Structure 1
Amino acid sequence: CKKHIPAETWTKIEAGAFRKLVKHLQDRNGAVQNMDLMTIGGFCRNCLAKWLVVEARKMSDTINDDDDDNINLKEALDAMGYDDAAVEVYGCAYSEWKKLHQKKATDEQMQRFNDSSDIHAKHDKTLLKTRLSEKPAPVDNSKLPVLTPVCLKPASNNASVNSQPASLLSDVCCQDVDAVVASSSTDVAQSNDNTNKALQQSSSTLSGYQAPPPPTGGLDLKIGILTVSDRASKNEYTTGDLSGPAVEQALKYNVGVLNGNGSGVAISCAVAKKSIVPDDVDEIGEVLKIWSGKGSQSASCNLIFTTGGTGFAPRDVTPEATLAILDCECQGLMSWVSNECTVEQPLATLSRGTAGICGN
């Protein structure tokens, strides 16, 4: 639509949008910090003030100073500095705004700010310097929109001109989703209050896990770790198999925690077998039979972990291969595993992992 609007009118539209942005930020002084603006958008209120000065310099350079009116305008533009522009952006002197509204940054805010340095606006310090020390006589700007000062201290009757708006969204933005969600959540919580109380009475907790007592006496674990992956079996990963080593590391860590909890439990944990097979029922099953002692050989492992092949792809067949050699499936154990894993990974419930025992 810009090509249908005269350039002078379009410039006024842009100027109006800029004034609206300034007013929006002034209305949210305490809630919207400069550091957060820099982190997210790469600019802040200081940048707006500096851009005002830069545009004043550019305009000054285009003015022909043949007559007195042009001379006065050029002098005013050259005398305009950052402090002058900051008053227009902040609604008061920047130093005063900092006292009233700037909050001490947290370590996390500083880290995010530093990490976003690539997008921070850069400013030419030479252009920002004033070219004249004395300003010309003021002009009549009574027809310009006036922004209400927002950096005043609260009045004695506690009615502050500094109060924040009910919403941080602009007056042309979409509905405040957070407010809607919060309102809906409150309604649902109130309507289900009796149900929640009944649940609390029937169970001390639905999400907290109470560990069973540790095993008594010594425990000798001979571990088998079987990675099921077509690509890993063909050595197609530049990193090699990562899931098998991750299982081993996690197992040894948790056994170490149990051994060091002061309960007197001594768990011996040694990885006896490790292997990688493709996503094939027969090959998976053959390894599991051998390790568990269901074949012609005695068992080399008393605890076997498989990793991989538990999704919904046609070649994800680890659960089927495992079930084929189990004497007794333990569905409750995998239900608990799925519940615990969703704390870290919500999609863990899509795993079809299974567990059980062979023999006694």
Structure 2
Amino acid sequence: MSGHGDPEPHAGAAEHGRSGTRGGTGRRAVVIVASTSAAAGRSVDGTGPVIRDWLVERGFTCAEPVVVADGAPVGEALRAAIEAGQEVVVTTGGTGVSPSDTTPEQTAPLLDVQLPGIVEELRRRGTTHTPTALLTRGCAGFAGAAFVVNLPGSPGGVRDGLAVLDPVLDHLLEQRAGGTRH
């Protein structure tokens, strides 16, 4: 994985963003990295900064990724983000089948509305690159007004996940907020 020293976003990137439903004002997002080794300082996460930069380019205010150990700390970070009023919460890591991969189990109980099609499409796209994409077990949906999605911890899984989200994210948020655009 690449280094964690991501550059500062371009001035004004968070304010200008894409022509979304809210024009970038008040749009808040957080990235949670589920990695026991990165949380302990034994490895460097390369996926969180990629997701953060993607969100900033789309007009979200997004601090540096929150890095936590796998398991219960992921659930704690998710609850904190939702309670803080984040509009989008993206996790990376912990979606595989190893015993410590429990991000989906930490996420699912928090969701009021499940969006399985997002993860289905992520797996479908991923299998064009590697058959192991079938092993991702992430969740996507809404916890109140917050859109929450679990992406794999691999650069390829993140690339595929962001490609899936790109054409639908603004519409999802608008629809959840009561918008009527079709």
TM over 0.5: yes
For residues 337 and 215 of structure 1, what CA distance do their matches in structure 2 show? 23
Offset of residue 217 of structure 1 = 5.7
Offset of residue 338 of structure 1 = 1.9
Q: Deviations over 1:258-294 (max 9, x none)?
A: xxxxxxxxxx2221462111111x211111111111x
Structure with bigger RCO (C-alpha 8 Å, 6+ apart) = 2
1:232 equivalent among 25, 35, 38: 38
Instruction: Indicate the SS of the match to 2:106.
Output: helix
| TM-score, with length taken from structure 1 | 0.32
| TM-score, with length taken from structure 2 | 0.61
Offset of residue 315 of structure 1 = 0.8
What letter matches 2:99 in structure 1? P
| Residue of structure 2 equivalent to 1:328 | 113
Instruction: Indicate the SS of the match to 1:218.
Output: coil
Q: Is 1:310 matched with 2:115?
A: no
| Residue of structure 2 equivalent to 1:284 | 74
| Residue of structure 2 equivalent to 1:271 | 62
| Residue of structure 1 equivalent to 2:49 | 245
What letter matches 1:276 in structure 2? V
What letter matches 1:218 in structure 2? G
Contact 2:36 2:70 in 1 (8 A): yes
Instruction: Indicate the SS of the match to 2:65.
Output: strand
1:358 equivalent among 118, 139, 143: 143
What letter matches 1:290 in structure 2? A
Contact 1:223 1:273 in 2 (8 A): no
What letter matches 2:30 in structure 1? G
Instruction: Indicate the SS of the match to 1:322.
Output: helix
Offset of residue 330 of structure 1 = 1.1
Count residues in correspondence.
126
Q: Deviations over 1:53-81 (max 9, x none)?
A: xxxxxxxxxxxxxxxxxxxxxxxxxxxxx
What letter matches 1:269 in structure 2? F
Q: Which has the larger radius of gyration?
A: 1
Question: Structure 2 vs 1, CA of residues 217 and 249 (structure 1 numbering), >3 Å: closer, same or farther?
Answer: closer
What letter matches 1:350 in structure 2? L
Instruction: Indicate the SS of the match to 1:288.
Output: helix
Offset of residue 319 of structure 1 = 0.5
Q: Is 1:337 matched with 2:116?
A: no
For residues 217 and 302 of structure 1, what CA distance do their matches in structure 2 show? 11
Question: Structure 2 vs 1, CA of residues 247 and 216 (structure 1 numbering), >3 Å: closer, same or farther?
Answer: closer
Question: Structure 2 vs 1, CA of residues 278 and 269 (structure 1 numbering), >3 Å: closer, same or farther?
Answer: same
Question: Structure 2 vs 1, CA of residues 217 and 235 (structure 1 numbering), >3 Å: closer, same or farther?
Answer: closer
Question: Structure 2 vs 1, CA of residues 218 and 273 (structure 1 numbering), >3 Å: closer, same or farther?
Answer: same
Offset of residue 337 of structure 1 = 2.1
For residues 218 and 346 of structure 1, what CA distance do their matches in structure 2 show? 38
Identity %: 30
What letter matches 2:127 in structure 1? T
For residues 62 and 38 of structure 2, what CA distance do their matches in structure 1 show? 20
For residues 75 and 39 of structure 2, what CA distance do their matches in structure 1 show? 15
Contact 2:30 2:88 in 1 (8 A): yes
Q: Which runs of 5+ in 2 are unaligned?
A: 1-18, 146-182
Q: Deviations over 1:14-34 (max 9, x none)?
A: xxxxxxxxxxxxxxxxxxxxx
For residues 307 and 232 of structure 1, what CA distance do their matches in structure 2 show? 12
Which has the larger helix fraction?
1
Q: Is 1:218 matched with 2:23?
A: yes
For residues 54 and 22 of structure 2, what CA distance do their matches in structure 1 show? 23
